[in-house]
Structure 1
Amino acid sequence: MDAELVDWDLAVTTARRLVRPGPPVARSEADTVVAELRRLAVEAEGHVQAYTRLEPAGPPTPIVVVDRPEWVRSNVAGLRVVSEPLLDKLADRDRGKLSTAVGRRVTGVQLGTALAYLAGKVLGQYEVFLPPGETGETGETGETGTPGETGAAGHPGRPGRLSLVAPNIAHAEQALAVNPHDFRLWVCLHEQTHRIQFTAVPWLRTHLEHEIASFIEATDLDADVLAERVRSAVSALRGAVLDRGPNAPSIVEALQTPAQRQVLDRLQALMTLLEGHADQVMDAVGPKVVPTVAEIRSRFDNRRGGGSPIDRFVRRLLGLDLKLLQYRQGGAFVRAVVAEAGVDAFNLVWESPETLPTRSELVDPGAWMQRVLGSRPSISA
């Protein structure tokens, strides 16, 4: 591409300027948090493997502990990889004009603003897409440390890495007034489940890439259609401001074309399964290894559903309410199947893309069991 349509450097700069600092801690305390998170992440991996009976294939993927600015940098790098095909498509359609029409600097500022908000919320994530040349281990730091760079280089065809955001975990455990050790292990159980999903299921990353490519292929670049999408997005924005309830579309949903929605249904079903599985695993393993898990779960769920009106507005604007629904709906699906058929039977979900549940099956686990397992027990999700 002659000129990129997003000012990625400005996105990083904007987010780092706007992101709030983490909780004030002494360097020695920060180092202690980082060291324990790294240790507990390894411990959690063993617990998750023992429960799920999923065995990672190939060399181990890195586990890193990062601060908020490093999380921003890493996610911008990942977004750049994922969005490159779409931006190439836009540039090929109207080369030389789109960089002005889209406003690459404005887009960079908007992206940076959104990431600044998210950088204070995310406790951890499995980074599926790493850019070519990205180091395997980077940003291992407390809130005030300088990121280091060691380890094997990342590759777009390989699984990514597990990142834990130390200041956000420390802030959450303080805000919830829960046992720090227990909370850190509980978070690691969730994130390690995502890591094992992608490292133990060889086709999963390729399937996700294919669905993203299909979404891009379904993108309608006609100016009139795009204008109509923007008008719908404005209506969604008004709905978010007025807090019209859970069925009001997010701005992300409003910008989709009908063809994109079909692909997005499959993507949402997949993400709902992945999030729900991680939620179910942390609750299944938690009582055995996290003494205060019931207290943590109760307080954490209350925190998930709360927040100020501004916080709820931003969540709806960014489509984060959908993620909360994924936790609940996906978790209910996994719990229902495991309760009725067991872990081994549930693991048939990982056999191929054809055995993944559809969106309708996620709310009717019996239908999935009938299709994949050959039985339809009388159960309720």
Structure 2
Amino acid sequence: MGFTNDPTSGPPEEPEQNPFKGTPFEALFSGGGGAGLGPAGFGGMDLSALMGQVQAMMQPYDGPINWDVAIDMARRAAAQQPDPSPTARDKDAVADAVRLADHWLDSATDLPSGVTTTAAWSRAEWIVNTTDAWKVLVEPIAAQAVDSLGKALPEEARAMAGPLIGMLSKATGAMVASQVGSGLGALAGEVLGATDIGLPLAAPGVAALVPENVKAFAGGLDVDDADVTLYLALREAAHQRLFANVPWLREHLIGAVTDYARGIEINTSAMEEQVRGLDLTNPAALQDAFEGGMFDLAQSPAQRAALQRLEITLALVEGWVDEVVGQATAERMPAAAKLQEAVRRRRAAGGPAEQTFASLVGLELRPRRLRDASTLWGSLRTRQGTEARDGVWMHADLLPTASDLDDPLGFREDATAPESLSLTDEDFEAGLRGLLDGPGDDRPQE
């Protein structure tokens, strides 16, 4: 290799250039000894020993991310503050609030109830019960991240690493898992329920609140705790109605996330600065290095379109919930206006935990145009009635666009469907009836 470890043979020759130079794995394959696999590393360390060290960083797992690590880290993060299990009284209070909320919503929308069961969760229970949904949302982003990092290695480095490539890929998946876990742990400290971020994270039909977080939210408001719980139960039940009766909506949102993930490109040069000089066999050091967020994204036009589609749809979902809950509480809850404003600001701006999650996994879930969407739905109801307002959810192509949110009072002034759908009045009415009848085998398919 052009060098020697024999101290009697004179000064060693200049080491050959590390083929991993300029990549996130330069430190691991440097010639500085220790855990390195550069010239000194190959001369002084058995390859199998290093492979054992690297493998000790992780346990076998399937997919692009080690979810066992992610969930463990999330629960550890959530446990940094008191997280008592909900009492029987908490569970009864949530169940009673959701039951009353569903009754009130019957007067505000013809969409039937989507609630099949209620739950009161601790923060740790929120993490466990929403994991399946997060897998669907995060794995496309994680898979693209792992793939991009693997491609950061030049060809000569790939040949040199040999069997370590697979291990490094798994190590990257473990690092991504630590980021996701940190983000979910932060979110668990703030979320109020199963649909608080605008997506249905629990199993279908499960309306859940997190009493400890609800109490913290109520603490900053001059509103009775029971009113706060009821108002949040109204929002939870309204989300459940929408997602239960609009079967394409969940996939529409997830599809936008997947489309966004397809174009992700990791800024490996920024990562090189983060990990250069680190001991890559030290998981704690790796975690510290990546806590600032690894997703420095250069968005393509397709990504920007997918992100806009996600943001607009989230705004429409949140705006519809805001409008329906406002209608249901108008004559019943004097404190509703104050609670509506508090929730609007919270959702539109995103809390610290939501911002942390966005920086860690590159995914923002903020409905920035919530107010415009709420105005649009309210205006449509005033002009054409609740059936016309709710009938827009019959098909994705009927949804308002960004330009419609620019003029929310003018949406569907002519009360006609887009020409691209070629819907007759009879077709629209038939589809609307299917939407209002609720889930069932005889529902018209998209």
TM-score by length of 2: 0.60
Task: Go from structure 1 to structure 2 and tell me whether the alpha carbon gap of 1:78 and 1:303 turns closer, same or farther (over 3 Å shift).
Answer: closer
Task: Go from structure 1 to structure 2 and tell me whether the alpha carbon gap of 1:186 and 1:227 turns closer, same or farther (over 3 Å shift).
Answer: same
Q: Return the match for 2:110 from 27, 41, 53.
A: 53
| Equivalent runs, 1:1-381 vs 2, <5 Å | 3-19=62-78, 30-56=87-113, 61-84=116-139, 97=165, 100-101=168-169, 103-126=172-195, 128=200, 159=204, 161-216=206-261, 218-219=262-263, 225-227=265-267, 254=297, 256-297=299-340, 314=356, 317=359, 323=366, 325-370=368-413, 373=416
Task: Go from structure 1 to structure 2 and tell me whether the alpha carbon gap of 1:327 and 1:99 turns closer, same or farther (over 3 Å shift).
Answer: farther
Q: 2-side partners of 1:196 and 1:125: how far apart?
A: 13
Does the CA-based 8 Å contact 1:337-1:346 persist in structure 2? yes
Q: Which blocks of at least 5 consecutive residues in structure 1 are unaligned? A: 131-135, 137-158, 235-249, 376-381
Does the CA-based 8 Å contact 1:128-1:160 persist in structure 2? no
Does the CA-based 8 Å contact 2:66-2:174 persist in structure 1? yes
Q: 1-side partners of 2:389 and 2:266: how far apart?
A: 41
RMSD: 4.0
Does the CA-based 8 Å contact 2:312-2:367 persist in structure 1? no
Amino acid at match of 2:172: G
Amino acid at match of 2:187: L
Q: 2-side partners of 1:39 and 1:199: how far apart?
A: 21
Task: Go from structure 1 to structure 2 and tell me whether the alpha carbon gap of 1:313 and 1:204 turns closer, same or farther (over 3 Å shift).
Answer: closer
Task: Go from structure 1 to structure 2 and tell me whether the alpha carbon gap of 1:352 and 1:261 turns closer, same or farther (over 3 Å shift).
Answer: same
Q: 1-side partners of 2:137 and 2:359: how far apart?
A: 21
Cα deviation for residue 173 of structure 1 reads: 1.5
Larger mean CA deviation between 297-306 and 44-53 belongs to 297-306
Cα offsets for 1:219-261 (capped at 9, x unmatched):
35xxxx4338979xx9xxxxxxxxxxxxxxx997945432122
Task: Go from structure 1 to structure 2 and tell me whether the alpha carbon gap of 1:2 and 1:296 turns closer, same or farther (over 3 Å shift).
Answer: closer
Cα deviation for residue 5 of structure 1 reads: 2.6
Amino acid at match of 1:128: P
Q: 1-side partners of 2:357 and 2:146: how far apart?
A: 31
Task: Go from structure 1 to structure 2 and tell me whether the alpha carbon gap of 1:230 and 1:201 turns closer, same or farther (over 3 Å shift).
Answer: farther
Cα deviation for residue 21 of structure 1 reads: 6.3
Does the CA-based 8 Å contact 1:182-1:291 persist in structure 2? no
Q: 1-side partners of 2:306 and 2:192: how far apart?
A: 28
Larger radius of gyration: 2
Q: 1-side partners of 2:246 and 2:184: how far apart?
A: 29
Q: 1-side partners of 2:354 and 2:132: how far apart?
A: 27
Task: Go from structure 1 to structure 2 and tell me whether the alpha carbon gap of 1:61 and 1:18 turns closer, same or farther (over 3 Å shift).
Answer: same
Q: 2-side partners of 1:65 and 1:24: how far apart?
A: 13
Cα deviation for residue 275 of structure 1 reads: 0.7
Task: Go from structure 1 to structure 2 and tell me whether the alpha carbon gap of 1:161 and 1:109 turns closer, same or farther (over 3 Å shift).
Answer: same
Q: 2-side partners of 1:262 and 1:36: how far apart?
A: 42
Q: 1-side partners of 2:378 and 2:294: how far apart?
A: 31
Q: 2-side partners of 1:33 and 1:275: how far apart?
A: 26
TM-score by length of 1: 0.69
Q: 2-side partners of 1:86 and 1:54: how far apart?
A: 34
Cα deviation for residue 161 of structure 1 reads: 2.7
Cα deviation for residue 189 of structure 1 reads: 0.9
Q: 1-side partners of 2:184 and 2:254: how far apart?
A: 22
Does the CA-based 8 Å contact 2:355-2:364 persist in structure 1? no
Equivalent residue number for residue 246 of structure 1: none
Cα deviation for residue 203 of structure 1 reads: 2.9
Task: Go from structure 1 to structure 2 and tell me whether the alpha carbon gap of 1:254 and 1:336 turns closer, same or farther (over 3 Å shift).
Answer: farther
Q: Which blocks of at least 5 consecutive residues in structure 2 are unaligned? A: 1-59, 152-162, 275-292, 419-446
Larger mean CA deviation between 334-343 and 206-215 belongs to 206-215
Does the CA-based 8 Å contact 2:191-2:213 persist in structure 1? yes
What is the aligned-residue identity percentage?
25
SS of the aligned residue for 2:220 comes to helix
Q: 1-side partners of 2:416 and 2:121: how far apart?
A: 42
Cα deviation for residue 299 of structure 1 reads: 5.3
Matched length: 321
Q: 1-side partners of 2:251 and 2:346: how far apart?
A: 34
Q: 2-side partners of 1:265 and 1:370: how far apart?
A: 24
Cα offsets for 1:61-84 (capped at 9, x unmatched):
332221101111223332113444
Does the CA-based 8 Å contact 1:81-1:129 persist in structure 2? no
Does the CA-based 8 Å contact 1:345-1:373 persist in structure 2? no
Cα deviation for residue 347 of structure 1 reads: 1.7
Does the CA-based 8 Å contact 1:194-1:278 persist in structure 2? yes
Q: 1-side partners of 2:358 and 2:142: how far apart?
A: 25
